[in-house]
Structures are given as C-alpha cells and as structure tokens.
C-alpha cells in the first residue's frame, strides 16, 4: 500500500523521483509515470506499472546527454551550459544541483520542470512538453519539447521556445477525446494562464485559444474532462510552499472558465497539483509535496486522493492511503 506523503520506492528499492509529473496509459496496458528527477545529469525519469502500486524504473529519459535535433521552428537547443570555475565554486557548494561536474567538464544544468507526455496518433511519437529554464534563474520562462518512438526510450530533445513570444512557466498538457491537444502554461510573470491548441503533430503551438484567470497568479495547472465538461485545478503562486488549490470548469477548452473556487484545504493538504489520472470512471488527484531546493528536493513526496463531487463541485478529503 502506498501511503500519501511518505517516500515511495521503485521495484529495485530506489526512491521514486517523478515530481511535477504526469501519467500516460499506453496501448501496452502500462501506466508510464514521467517526472522531474534532479540527480546529477538527469532531468526526467520514467517508471511504469500495471497496478499503480509497484513501479518499475524504466530509465532517465531526458538527461544532459540526450540526443538533440532541431525542429522546423527556432528553438534553444543546448541541454547544459558552460560554467567557469567561479560559478562552479559558488553553486556546487550550496547544493542547488544546477552546476555539476559531468564527464570531466564543469557544466550548468538547465532546469526542467513539470514534464508531461502525450502519445500522438498522427505521428506515432511520444511527445514531451515541459518548463525550461537556464538553470541559473527563472528568466527564460520557456516551453521545452522532446520526442521518442517508445514511451520509455531516450527522448530526443528539440529545444525550448517562448510560445508566440510569451513567457511560459508552470505547465500541463491535455488531450481531448478527438486527439486535439492543448498546452496550458503560466505567462506574464505567472499573472495569467495561457491555453494553446497544439498543431496536429503536437510539435508546436497552433493558436492561443484562451487566457483565463487574468492576473490571478495561477500555477500548477491540471486539466481533465468529465461528462463533457473541462475541469482545471491550479495552485496560487508561492514557490515550493503549498497554498489553497482552486478549481474551475468550462464547456470547451477555448470557452469561458467559471470563477475559481476552493479545492482541498488552505494548503491543498500540503500539496500542489501535478496531474489528474482517470481510471475506472474515477478522477484521481495527484499532488506534489515539495521538499524544496537542492538536496531537500529529494525529500519531496506525493499525495493521491480521489476527487469527489457535491452539487457538481469537485472536492478532495485527506486520506493516508494513496487512492489509486
């Protein structure tokens, strides 16, 4: 039994690092869980499971050594940056894990957060979108894309960019029943959320179709569809510290969203939304309980709670047991 807020281990006994992540149910019947892993040289790890209890580590699917390949639009293609001795001395000792020695070279890791992966039927590719930063600060505010032919192989990095020139931080992906995919991310220094419809190959933004919650500082978006309506969970903007979660609903992804209403308690039970998993007709909230920066990051845990409804409004109650 997986307990909420405790460290979880994979089937080899390693701590499960899939923070800020996302689960994809593949056609092979496995649930693939992707998430942030800040160990030296690593960006994104992948685990898989059939029962959501026993997680098999499948690999570090995006790392400083991942293959890179340009795509048809202009992107930033480097997966690390050169650092000088002074920067190395400064940052390697304070444990931010953004500056490392790798293959005898001192490098600055970029920062990859909130990776999400969708399968694109049209191209047969697994397409990852994530939040990209330069590893020093949060000024790049860009979206990263990578692809793979299998769910758990080495992803090819296609670079990072600012959608239509906009800032893009906390993010998520949502795939509708007809295969149309959307990328949702925090823009304008996190003041607004943007909803972009993706191109049919999921490799670019096609159109900015919505700008809900103007200046309401929403982060950590998670979108799901229930009975023909679109629900979005999000947090407020307080860094690693948890805050009151909120939900909103819309009739279409490009439509008008309802006013934000509370979801969970004043700290969302000490968590921030990562994603919603739908299984056997149930909607399941997965949140991160963040440890913080540097080494504390690795003490981050997860909480998994079933979303219930009262008068059509989604809510969660805390339970020790992970609800999947």
The binding site for ligand GAL (CB under 6 A) comprises 20, 113-114, 170, 219-220, 237, 239-240, 272
How many whole angstroms separate alpha carbon 195 and alpha carbon 213? 11
* Closer by beta carbon to ligand GAL, 10 or else 113: 113
The partner residues of 278 in beta bridges, in order of sequence, read 283
**Token pair recorded at residue 94:** 């304070």
The residue among 296, 273, 175 whose CA lies nearest residue 221 is 273
Least Å distance, CB 258 to ligand GAL, is: 22
How many whole angstroms separate alpha carbon 116 and alpha carbon 240? 19
Cβ atoms within 10 Å, residue 56: 14
Confirm if 67 and 77 have CB atoms less than 8 A apart. Answer: no
Report which DSSP code applies to 37. -
CA distance readout (Å), 181 to 10, 83, 116, 120: 30, 37, 12, 9
Run of H or E residues at 89: helix 85-92
Helix (H, G, I), strand (E, B) or coil at 315: strand
Least Å distance, CB 111 to ligand GAL, is: 8
**Token pair recorded at residue 6:** 């405790």
How many whole angstroms separate alpha carbon 322 and alpha carbon 324? 6
Least Å distance, CB 309 to ligand GAL, is: 26
* Closer by beta carbon to ligand GAL, 20 or else 151: 20
Least Å distance, CB 272 to ligand GAL, is: 6
* Closer by beta carbon to ligand GAL, 73 or else 241: 241
How many whole angstroms separate alpha carbon 151 and alpha carbon 132? 21
Least Å distance, CB 300 to ligand GAL, is: 10
Q: In what order do the strands lie in the sheet with 272-279?
A: 272-279, 282-289, 301-310, 313-315
* Closer by beta carbon to ligand GAL, 20 or else 245: 20
* Closer by beta carbon to ligand GAL, 114 or else 246: 114
**Token pair recorded at residue 133:** 């930063």
* Closer by beta carbon to ligand GAL, 120 or else 288: 288
Least Å distance, CB 86 to ligand GAL, is: 25
Helix (H, G, I), strand (E, B) or coil at 211: coil
* Closer by beta carbon to ligand GAL, 111 or else 204: 111
Least Å distance, CB 235 to ligand GAL, is: 7
Least Å distance, CB 195 to ligand GAL, is: 18
CA distance readout (Å), 90 to 94, 207, 246, 297, 298: 7, 42, 39, 19, 21
Least Å distance, CB 265 to ligand GAL, is: 18
Q: Which residue is nearest to ligand GAL, using beta carbons?
A: 239
* Closer by beta carbon to ligand GAL, 52 or else 237: 237
* Closer by beta carbon to ligand GAL, 209 or else 237: 237
């Amino acid at each position: 039994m997986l307990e909420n807020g405790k460290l979880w281990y994979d089937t080899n006994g390693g701590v499960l690092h899939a923070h800020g992540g996302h689960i994809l149910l593949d056609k092979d019947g496995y649930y693939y869980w992707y998430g942030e892993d800040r160990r030296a040289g690593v960006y994104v790890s992948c685990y898989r499971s059939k029962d959501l209890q026993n997680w098999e580590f499948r690999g570090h699917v995006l790392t400083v050594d991942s293959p890179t390949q340009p795509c048809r639009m202009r992107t930033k293609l480097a997966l690390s940056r050169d650092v000088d001795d002074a920067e190395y001395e400064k940052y390697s000792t304070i444990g931010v894990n953004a500056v490392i020695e790798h293959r005898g070279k001192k490098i600055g890791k970029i920062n990859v957060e909130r990776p999400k992966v969708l399968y694109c039927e049209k191209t047969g590719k697994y397409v990852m979108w994530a939040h990209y930063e330069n590893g020093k600060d949060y000024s790049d505010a860009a979206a990263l894309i990578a692809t793979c032919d299998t769910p758990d192989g080495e992803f090819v990095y296609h670079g990072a960019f600012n959608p239509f020139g906009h800032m893009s931080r906390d993010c998520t992906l949502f795939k509708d029943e007809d295969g149309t995919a959307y990328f949702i991310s925090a823009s304008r220094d996190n003041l607004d959320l943007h909803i972009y419809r993706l191109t049919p190959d999921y490799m670019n933004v096609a159109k900015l179709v919505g700008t809900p919650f103007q200046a309401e500082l929403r982060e950590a978006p998670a979108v799901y569809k229930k009975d023909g309506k679109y629900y979005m969970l999000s947090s407020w903007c307080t860094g690693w510290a948890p805050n009151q979660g909120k939900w909103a609903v819309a009739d279409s992804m490009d439509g008008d969203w309802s006013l934000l209403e509370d979801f969970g308690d004043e700290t969302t039970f000490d968590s921030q939304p990562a994603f919603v998993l739908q299984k056997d007709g149930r909607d399941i909230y997965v949140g991160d309980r963040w440890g913080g920066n540097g080494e504390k990051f690795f003490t981050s845990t997860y909480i998994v709670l079933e979303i219930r409804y009262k008068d059509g409004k989604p809510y969660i109650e805390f339970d020790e047991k992970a609800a999947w």
